[in-house]
A and B are shown apart, each in its own frame.
Chain A
Amino acid sequence: MEPLTEKKLKSLEFMANRLREDVIAMVSRAGSGHIAGPLGMADVFAAFYFHILKHDPKHPAWPERDRLILSNGHICPVQYAVLAHAGYFPVEELRTLRRLGTRLQGHPHRGALPGIETTSGPLGSGIAQSIGIALAAKLDAKKWQTYCLTSDGEHEEGNTWEAVMFAGKNRLNNLTVVIDRNNIQIDGFTENVMPLEPLREKYESFNWHVLEIDGHSFEQIIAAAAEARAIYEKPTAIIAHTIAGKGVDFMEKDYLWHSKTFKPGEAEHALKELRTLGGKIKSEHE
């Protein structure tokens, strides 16, 4: 991984903001889909695809690439946006999200779109699939890393904990899981729906190395990924505390935005706010 320079940091910030704009435009055009989760994970996705991952967008099947598996497939608009900007497919294609015949399915499908490693949507099966991919790397003595991005809500699925148990037993040090700890799910706040805390201790007791970070700090996201690669004895879980709806004042931390869509005017308001980075800069689009 190259060092994070001041210049690179600025470019990541601008990229994350661009991803948020795309997400809002894509979902409002499609008329359905999730918004808050993708906005909350825009910084993590920008950091992975533009700094952390070893990958080649022109050769999506490059055998030595790092694998990034998105477990909570419903936040795919942000993954589609980052894949397009990284060069996997034309940015214009983002307009086709959820349309008949599109490669940008409502939930991501392996084989449909370059850069999508696995099909997801039904929750709780991403860590287990990542384990299979990491085991294959071990069997073939390959050095690439497997990253799994998950949500906090899907830690209510039994399959998640079956997988966490197995990875701990097998000391899968080539597996890193990032948990989007935004505290919301469809029916409300996670701690009301089904408490997950103490989440850190849960993972530690299953023999994982655990890091907790601010999921909007590029320095922390990148440092955590570097530390995860350095840990030899265990798989690593990075609990990334994020703000659902990050960047749009009326969406932030409101669980109702987990899955609801825009009313007339709301998307325009959200876009305007993003284009000025919350009033910090003058919009280029005005």
Chain B
Amino acid sequence: MLNPALHLNPKLFDADAEQRPTRDGYGDGLVAAGDADQNVVALCADLTESTRTEAFAKKFPGRFFELGVAEQNMATVAAGLGISGKIPFIASYATFSPGRNWEQIRTTIAYNDSNVKIAGHHAGISVGPDGATHQATEDIAIMRTMPNMKVFVPCDAIEARKATEAAAHIWGPVYLRFQREKTPVMTTTETPYAPGKAEIFWIPSAGIKKPEVSIIVCGAITYNALAAARELEKEKIGVIVLNCHTIKPLDERKIIECVKKTGAVVTVEEHQIAGGLGGAVAETLAKYHPVPMEFVGMRDGFGESGQPAQLLEKYNMDVKSIVIAVKKAIKRK
């Protein structure tokens, strides 16, 4: 059952549950951050509408900079602003930023300790028809290996707004990952959110004896993990679903606490299984508490054009694939 302590959306599984893309939360959070602090500035590289930078640009035209199709320049100009008292947010699709401009981010933002927030949009395979060129599935890995960088992957539009506002308050470089498609809104404004603090969204219902697997998940695919938990409960299999919205710094304590209870773990992400959330969790567990582990994510391949649901099914990230992974993890105990 949904963790009653977290004020999650009670209508989450209803057919008419509210759906919004996480990028909308970026747009809301950016305006709120701009209202709260006049040093917040926004930069965009010819994707102002689709990265939801538009509302900020309209409200604060003097604090918005259009860079044109030049992601490397966007990162480096932001680096200069960020060491001069400003709090720049830069936005593009994640394959271009932090993809194309990774070295500029490494040298002039991370190593330089410039107060820049990098918003990578259209992450994951659920970008859909645009195809593999626009589906970022490596961005968590390339950003979490960078010293001095924090990595936030919000699960819905409300959490995305909170993550964006939080990033403005934290000193130093932050990578924020957003997604294109409308996805169910799982949290509410009442749901607790703090960077670096993972939250247990699902716990076994009263009739189920004890959780057998910890499903650790990030991003909009958290909905699939919750749907899988519901399916499993029909078969009397209890699980924990941990929304791990901060990949770095990783909430190691909460992860170990959950895994000690379950003795097996499944990670779920719209990202390569190498180097992403699964990699981060595996590093922690290998060190402190090794248990059987299964990975749901992209298996060293590129995506393709298609509808988001079709792609998640084809590439084994749908509800059914998570259910299978959980059963496999239990068998390996």
Pair from one complex:
yes
- Cα of A134 to Cα of B103 in the assembled complex, Å: 22
Taking chain A's interface residues, is the majority helix, strand, or loop, or is none over half, making it mixed? helix
Task: State whether B72 touches A133 (Cβ < 8 A).
Answer: no
Number of A-B contacts (CB under 8 A): 96
Q: Which of A119-169 contact B (CB under 8 A)?
A: 119-122, 125, 128-137, 139-140, 158-159, 162-163, 165-166
Please give the distance in Å from A101's CB to the nearest CB on chain B. 18
B79, closest chain A residue (CB): A129
Shortest distance from the beta carbon of A214 to any chain B beta carbon, whole Å = 30
The 8 Å CB contact of B76, one of A134, A136, A139, A163, is A163
| Closest Cβ neighbor of B113 among chain A residues | A111
Q: Which residues of B contact A133 (CB under 8 A)?
A: 80-81, 83-84
Contact A132 B84 (CB under 8 A): yes
Nearest-neighbour CB distance to chain B for A121, whole angstroms, equals 7
User: Any chain B CB within 8 A of the CB of A118?
Assistant: yes
Q: Does B13 have its Cβ within 8 Å of any Cβ on chain A?
A: no
Interface residue B19 (Cβ < 8 Å from any Cβ of A): no
- Structural contact, B76 and A132, CB atoms closer than 8 A: yes
Which chain A residues lie closer than 8 Å to B113 at the CB level? 110-111
**Is B77 a contact partner of A166 (Cβ separation < 8 A)?**
yes
**Of all chain A residues, which has the CB nearest B78?**
A132
Residues in B with CB closer than 8 Å to A158 are 72
Residue of B nearest to A130 (CB): B80
Q: Which residues of chain A have C-beta atoms less than 8 A from B70's C-beta? A: 162, 165-166
| Inter-chain contact B76/A129, CB cutoff 8 Å | yes
- The complex places the Cα of A162 from the Cα of B108 at a distance, in Å, of 16
Q: Does B238 contact A (CB under 8 A)?
A: no
Q: Distance (Å) between the CB of A113 and the closest chain B CB?
A: 13
Chain B residues, CB < 8 A from A111: 113
- Of the candidates B63, B67, B83, B104, which one forms a contact with A139 in the assembled complex, judged by CB atoms under 8 Å apart? B63
B111 touches A131 (CB 8 A): no
Take A110-B112, A110-B113 as given contacts and tell me if A122 and B72 are in contact as well, using a CB distance cutoff of 8 Å: no
Neighbour of B73 across the interface among A121, A122, A135, A166, CB < 8 A: A166
A125 CA / B107 CA spacing, docked (Å): 9
Tell me the bound Cα distance from A162 to B69 in angstroms: 9
Provide the residues of chain B in CB contact with A110, threshold 8 Å: 83, 112-113
Q: Is the CB of A135 within 8 A of B108?
A: no
User: Is B65 an interface residue when CB atoms closer than 8 A count as contact?
Assistant: yes
- How many chain B residues touch A (Cβ–Cβ < 8 Å)? 28
Contact of A165 among B68, B83, B111 (CB under 8 A): B68
Cβ of B134 < 8 Å from any Cβ of A?
no
> What's the Cα separation between A5 and B112 when bound, in Å?
39
Residue B301 is within 8 A (CB to CB) of chain A in the complex: no
Q: Give the residue among A118, A130, A134, A158 with the most B Cβ atoms within 10 A.
A: A118
Q: Assess the A118–B86 pair: CB atoms within 8 A.
A: no
- Give Cα distance in the complex from A128 to B86, angstroms: 15
From B77, B82, B86, A131 is in contact (CB under 8 Å) with B77
Query: A171 at the A/B interface (Cβ < 8 Å)?
Result: no
Residue among B41, B63, B68, B77 with the highest chain A CB neighbour number at 10 A: B77
B107 lies within 8 A of A128 (CB): no
One of B62, B67, B112 near A166 (C-beta < 8 A): B67
Q: Which residues of B contact A165 (CB under 8 A)?
A: 68, 70
List B contacts of A118 (CB < 8 A).
Answer: 79-80, 83, 108, 112
How far is A111 from B88 in the complex, measured between Cα atoms in Å?
20
B-side contacts of A129, CB under 8 Å: 76-77, 79-80, 83, 108
A121 with B107, Cβ < 8 A, contacts A111-B113, A132-B84 known = yes
* Cβ–Cβ < 8 Å partners of B86 in chain A: 132, 136, 139
Tell me, rounded to whole Å, the shortest Cβ–Cβ distance linking A62 to chain B. 14
Q: Which residues 228-243 of A sit at the B interface, judged by CB distance below 8 A? A: none
Q: Find the A residue at minimum CB distance from B65.
A: A135
Which A residues are in CB contact (< 8 Å) with B85? 136, 140
A109 to B63 CA separation, bound complex (whole angstroms): 28
A132, B112: Cβ atoms closer than 8 Å: no
Complex CA gap A136/B77 in Å reads 10
Q: Hey, which chain A residues are within 8 Å of B108, CB to CB?
A: 118-119, 125, 128-129
Q: Assess the A122–B103 pair: CB atoms within 8 A.
A: yes
Residues in B with CB closer than 8 Å to A119 are 107-108, 111-112
Q: Which of A117, A118, A125, A135 has the most CB of B within 10 A?
A: A125
CB distance from A74 to the nearest CB of B (A): 13
- Shortest distance between the CB of B271 and any CB in chain A (Å): 27
Given contacts A120-B107, A125-B104, 7 further A-B contacts (CB under 8 A): A118-B79, A119-B108, A125-B79, A130-B80, A131-B77, A133-B83, A166-B68
Q: List 19 A-B contacts (CB under 8 A).
A: A110-B83, A121-B107, A122-B107, A125-B108, A128-B76, A128-B79, A128-B80, A129-B79, A131-B77, A131-B80, A132-B81, A133-B80, A133-B83, A133-B84, A136-B85, A139-B86, A159-B73, A166-B73, A170-B65
Chain B interface (Cβ < 8 Å from any Cβ of A): 41, 62-63, 65, 67-68, 70, 72-73, 76-86, 88, 103-104, 107-108, 111-113
